[in-house]
Amino acid sequence: MNITKLFERLGVKTADMAAAIAFHRFVSDRSVAIVDKPGSELLGLGSGVLIRIEDHYLVATAGHVLEGKSPAAVTIVPPGNISTQTLDVRRMNSVGRQQNLDIDVGWLELDGEQCQRNRIRLLSLDQVKPLQNEDQVHACYVQGYPSDSAVASQDGEQFRISEVQSVGSLQLSVPPERRKDRHQAGVDIAIEYPSHDGSLDDVGLPKPFGLSGGGVWLFPRFDESQIWSAEKATLVGIDRGWWRQDREASATRVEWWLRLVADDFSNAREVIEACLAAAT
């Protein structure tokens, strides 16, 4: 069947609409929910992004998502509606403040064999890059799991996640000269949420409670190459907070997460330092 006709049958009539669907699927497949393990329907829920660096299968998230928790107290829920295929956490670490700055990033390490058995999709290091030219406005995609999107039950010792759903929204970055005083130079990425011009006020955007730890992705531009691909997306930040009155979300630049991983995994330090050096 002609690909154009196929898209039309699916309700997709333009190339940009098809790109949006492909991009959302790419990002969703590499996003996870970080869920507490109580036996009730009221769950602690955060978000994360799957990244493989050397032989480490990692989840990038916000530091406060892991605050006061241990690997045995949380489970990782892959994309989609999952009941039994949650992922075990081997170890974790986070940082809150560093050099008198609010960094707020953390990582969890997963079992590599378990990820492979479940065909978990992860980003490679070359898809994780610091944001360049932040004085310009960029199209950024914010993806994560709202705090009320998971339902759990416990049958004896069996912990089940019966449903978890992620959401995403394409927004614009806020250049430094337009940011509020709370934003930290060299640490933060600010994103309109919702749009400052009010154009998305009536479309029913979800309140981003629980998106903490979710990814902030740079949407690939259509004019940068002849062939557009969702795999050209790059992770540039980790969402950590939202200010309703200012209509802005705040994320920590991804290089702070990479530095934490480099400090904690000696065999990954060289490739991470090369990645950061190439971005300067």
Tell me the per-residue pLDDT of 112-137, one tens digit each, with 9 for 90 and over: 999 999 889 999 999 999 999 999 99
What span, in angstroms and rounded, lies between the C-alpha atoms of 30 and 26?
7
168-201: burial string, b at 16+ Cβ within 10 Å, e else: bbbbbbbeeeebeeeeeeebbbbbbbbbeeeebe
CB atoms within 10 A of CB 44: 17
Q: Examine the pLDDT at 216 and tell me if it is beyond 60.
A: yes
**Collapsed DSSP state (helix, strand, coil) of residue 86:** coil
Count of the separate structural domains present in the chain: 1
Which of 31-40, 87-96, 209-218 is predicted least confidently? 31-40
β pairing state of 56-61 and 45-53: antiparallel
Q: Tell me the per-residue pLDDT of 73-83, one tens digit each, with 9 for 90 and over.
A: 888 988 754 44
**Collapsed DSSP state (helix, strand, coil) of residue 104:** strand
Proportion of the chain above pLDDT 70, given as a percent: 78
CB atoms within 10 A of CB 153: 13
* DSSP assigned state of 123: B
Q: Residue range 86-102: average pLDDT?
A: 91
Q: Examine the pLDDT at 278 and tell me if it is beyond 70.
A: yes
What span, in angstroms and rounded, lies between the C-alpha atoms of 253 and 238?
7
User: Tokens 């959401």 correspond to what residue?
Assistant: 167
Cis peptide before 79 (omega within 30 of 0): no
- What pLDDT is recorded for position 230? 78
- What pLDDT is recorded for position 12? 47
**Collapsed DSSP state (helix, strand, coil) of residue 3:** helix
The larger pLDDT score, comparing residue 135 to residue 223, is at: 135
Indicate the average pLDDT of the chain. 82
Question: 50 with 128: CB under 8 angstroms?
Answer: no
C-alpha atoms less than 13 angstroms from C-alpha of 178 in its C-beta half-sphere: 16
Q: Tell me the per-residue pLDDT of 150-160, one tens digit each, with 9 for 90 and over.
A: 655 555 444 55
Proportion of the chain above pLDDT 90, given as a percent: 42
Structure tokens at 49: 């992004």
Q: What is the CATH number of the domain that holds 195?
A: 2.40.10.120
**H helix runs in the chain, sequence order:** 3-9, 15-28, 112-117, 254-264, 269-278
- Of 92, 37, 87, the residue nearest 64 (C-alpha): 92
The whole domain housing 218 covers: 3-278
Strand ranges inside the chain, DSSP E: 31-36, 45-53, 56-61, 74-77, 89-98, 101-110, 139-144, 150-155, 158-164, 167-174, 188-192, 215-218, 234-243, 248-253
